[in-house]
Amino acid sequence: MKHGLLRKIIIVLCTVAAVTGIGFFTYRPPSFLDGITGATKRVSENDKLEGSYIFVMNTDSDCFKLTENRDIAKAALSGSEEMHLKEDVSFTIAVAGDEKALIDFAGNLSENLQNKGINVSIRIYDRMMLRSRILAGKYDSFISTRGFIEAEALEHSEFSVLDAENMKGQAQ
């Protein structure tokens, strides 16, 4: 009898220790387990512009139905000073909330465009919400990393590839 009771106590203690250990390692992000697997990005990685990014314009959106408006946005991205506005142009740039460097770049781009007479607002979304809105076609434009969404999902859009080095120069 003593061996049966002792065995049950050991099993209960091991179960409690296992549940406590699992809870400790997976409690809340960024947890120890996320750190090991790389599931949660470190904030410092998102503070720098590196690689290539895309600026996508939804051609079904009211502001980008006209080719002239898309050309104006592209000219502004390239830093061109010669832009001839035929009408009031306004649009929204959507950005993923975990991309601090892109949010800063979008803010600077918005400021530069507003100085040139284009009304630009920025909307910050969670990554999944932004992806969902893109797939549903509910965006004027967005800036993201190149691998954020597949090109096939962007059937009614026009995009420009931005190099991080050029973006750093425009962001200042």
pLDDT in tens, 35-81: 666 655 554 444 566 667 888 888 888 888 877 777 777 777 776 66
**Residue 67: which of 45, 89, 50 has the closest Cα?**
89
Domains, the chain, ordered by start: 2-40 (no CATH), 49-170 (3.40.190.210)
Residue 172 has pLDDT above 60, yes or no: no
At residue 41, the pLDDT reads 55
77/162 Cα distance (integer angstroms): 8
The pTM score is: 0.62
64/93 Cα distance (integer angstroms): 12
pLDDT in tens, 81-125: 666 665 677 888 899 888 788 888 888 778 877 877 778 889 999
